[in-house]
Amino acid sequence: MENFASCSNSMITIFVLALLIVILILIPSVNSLETSNKSDQSFRPDMELKKLNFIKAKLNKINKPSVKTIQSPDGDIIDCVLSHQQPAFDHPELQGQKPLDPPERPNDGHNPNESMMEDFQLWRVSGESCPEGTIPIRRSTEEDMLRAINIKRFGQKRVIKRRVRRDSTSTDHEHAVGYVSGQQYYGAKASINVWAPRVTNQYEFSLSQMWVISGSFGNDLNTIEAGWQVSPEQYGDSHPRFFTYWTTDAYQATGCYNLLCSGFVQTNSRIAIGAAISPTSNYNGGQFDISLLIWKDPKHGNWWLEFGSGILVGYWPSFLFTHLRDHASMVQFGGEIVNTRSSGFHTSTQMGSGHFSGLGFGKASYFRNLQVVDWDNNLTPLSNLKVLADHPNCYDIRGGINRVWGNYFYYGGPGRNVRCP
């Protein structure tokens, strides 16, 4: 019995000694790990704090004091901001000024209908509106900025080569467009069919728009753009939204979406740029389109945007631009998507209705009544419309002309399919 007890005590002693050796070996590693964690923790909060401070400063700059706030059913907050306090008037050349009076409208042989429907956005569903002397601005949030791939470029398009050019160079932007070039253009007009295409990746988008373009396709590219887009990164949802854009250096440093920088001057108190459009078109059902006109004011040289017939949205001051201070050298209409190939194959992000052009009205998306503005401020039909799809097995386009729609085209597609792997 004594021998057994002695043996047991020896085994316990050996076990304790072994345990002490293991602990001594592990202590440096644990200390090292704790030191490493402390180092990481002291580094990360600094970076996060810097990031959050940048976001706060940016939001303070673009979100202006409001006299009224409206909650939209889709979650947007619309701020009614005094028109002379909007972001455009932070620009050194606009400080202390107020929005300009309406310009001379292009001649098209018709009198504009001032009562044209303006309640085409979700935030107006409740019947709420902004007071006269204010403009509605979609409030930007911290969540909006945190979704951006690069918070320092929040509100700007990503820089890629040949974003607008209609060719088959391999970028992640794909187009199906109609365009005219070779003359001097002072504006453009079109009615754009509105759908809610599926976008399969947060960092992809699908849009339908007009481009008014001047300069080369190098770093001096000037564009003015307007239309509708579905962009989860920009807006956090899948609603089609009315948008504008501009750049003077091929999307590098200048320009932005909507009112997210000093640029576009809004004059309308009932339309919120960046807000969701409602209703939208349905396959084999009701069709909805929006008419947009961009033109250069012959008197002051600013580029104005009109919605519908006679409803002025605002203007891009001419001093923002280089080549577009004079005229445009190209006008482009159509669809664009981003294809990130995130799963190793072509995206299933849809363009337009998500169906090919051959299906026609009620199924394929369209642009109709395409026109340009000439040197004498007249709206004229297109004389040399060309159509091109740079990935026709994924998204295609088909043009035509008739008495009712004038120049038109159907366009779009589903993206990935058996012919578009």
Distances in Å between the Cα of 216 and the Cα atoms of 258, 292, 317, 323, 334 are 24, 25, 21, 9, 20
Of 174, 204, 225, 233, the active-site residue reads 225
Sheet containing 328-338: order of strands? 241-247, 222-230, 206-214, 328-338, 173-185, 386-389
Distances in Å between the Cα of 12 and the Cα atoms of 4, 17, 24, 378 are 12, 9, 18, 102
Cα-based angle 6, 8, 9 (whole degrees, multiple of 5)? 65
Of 174, 233, 306, 336, the active-site residue reads 336
Considering only CA atoms, give the Rg of the chain.
28
**Catalytic residue list contains 336:** yes
d(CA 112, CA 118): 14
Cα-based angle 164, 156, 205 (whole degrees, multiple of 5)? 65
- The set of catalytic residues is 225, 336
